[in-house]
Amino acid sequence: MKTLGLIGGMSWTSTEHYYRGLNELVQQRLGAKHSAQLLLYSVDFAQIAQWQRRHDWACVAEYLTDIARRLELAGCDLLGLCSNTIHQVADDIAAKIDVPVVQITSSVAEKISDLKLKRVAVLGTRYVMAEGFYRQRIETSSACESVVPSVPDQEWIHSTIFDELCHGTVNSSIRRRFRQMIGQLCDTSIDGVLLACTELGLAIDINAHEKPVLDSTQIHIQALGEAMLND
């Protein structure tokens, strides 16, 4: 088994999901006494969130590259970033370390291609939905068109992620609005919905809709686990 370096804390709630999911995957594959070989660096997200609000991605890249180098020196064989939004700087980090970065965008694009989806609705932070870097990577790698909810829905999703889900807060009204929103999207000419935020799976039942709802966190965990176990 390879040792996986994880950069988490963006938010800690989704990082907890990564930790549990990777250990469950390894246990299922190798047996009950096995667990994942992980090096986890959990950041203080407040500073990163401030840089994001200022669109200072250079500072984000510099800060996380330093952490990636520390994990590499500590002995990790590959690296994962526990955040969709942070993948805006994944290529910058990958260019400055020697271990491979298993990127969530590549994993998601491969899943979309496997399912032969041609048009997906993307839900995530404002940066993922409106700024283009994430959707462009998905579209280029999978030949699938991406669409996003209305601007008011985008703003509600973004604020709900940062003000509620990042703190582990999920209630019935949040679940209900997401269910209604996804139901409305499924009534349009899309083939599926992509949850392009690691916290959204906390509030959305991916099996409760008539069209496929893909949880990027689950897809990424699967890809990271396969990379760890592929010797």
- Same-domain status, 95 and 135: no
Q: Is the pLDDT of residue 104 over 90?
A: yes
Q: Give the pLDDT band of residue 8 (cuts 50, 70, 90).
A: very high
Q: Give the pLDDT band of residue 203 (cuts 50, 70, 90).
A: very high
- Same-domain status, 45 and 145: no
- pLDDT score of 168: 86
Backbone angles phi, psi at 197, to 5 degrees: -150, 135
- Same-domain status, 210 and 223: no
| Average pLDDT of every residue of the chain | 94
CATH of the domain at 131: 3.40.50.1860
Which ranges of 31-88 would DSSP assign to H, the alpha helix?
Answer: 45-53, 57-74
- Same-domain status, 64 and 122: no
- Same-domain status, 56 and 131: no
For residue range 13-29, list pLDDT tens digits in order.
889 999 999 999 999 99
- pLDDT score of 222: 97
Residue range of the domain that includes 16: 4-103+219-229
- Same-domain status, 147 and 210: yes
- pLDDT score of 119: 94
Q: Is the pLDDT of residue 169 over 90?
A: no
- pLDDT score of 154: 95
Close Cβ partners of 1 (under 8 Å, ≥ 6 residues apart): 26, 30, 36, 37, 228, 229, 231
Taking the model in full, what pTM does it have?
0.94
Burial of 163 (0-12, 13-18, 19+ CB in 10 A): exposed
195/203 Cα distance (integer angstroms): 11
For residue range 206-217, list pLDDT tens digits in order.
998 989 999 999
More confident residue, 132 or 106: 106
Q: Is the pLDDT of residue 193 over 80?
A: yes
- Same-domain status, 48 and 122: no
Which of 52-61, 73-82, 182-191 shows the lowest per-residue confidence on average (mean pLDDT)? 182-191
- Same-domain status, 80 and 166: no
Q: Give the pLDDT band of residue 131 (cuts 50, 70, 90).
A: confident
Q: Is the pLDDT of residue 184 over 80?
A: yes
163/14 Cα distance (integer angstroms): 14
- Same-domain status, 95 and 158: no
Q: What is the mean pLDDT of residues 161-188?
A: 92
- pLDDT score of 149: 94
Total domains in the fold of the chain = 2
- Same-domain status, 99 and 69: yes
Q: What is the mean pLDDT of residues 167-180?
A: 92
- Same-domain status, 110 and 210: yes
Going edge to edge, which strands form the sheet with 38-42? 38-42, 4-8, 78-81
- Same-domain status, 42 and 134: no
- pLDDT score of 188: 87
For residue range 134-154, list pLDDT tens digits in order.
999 899 988 899 999 999 999
Written as six digits, the tokens of 110 are 């491969």
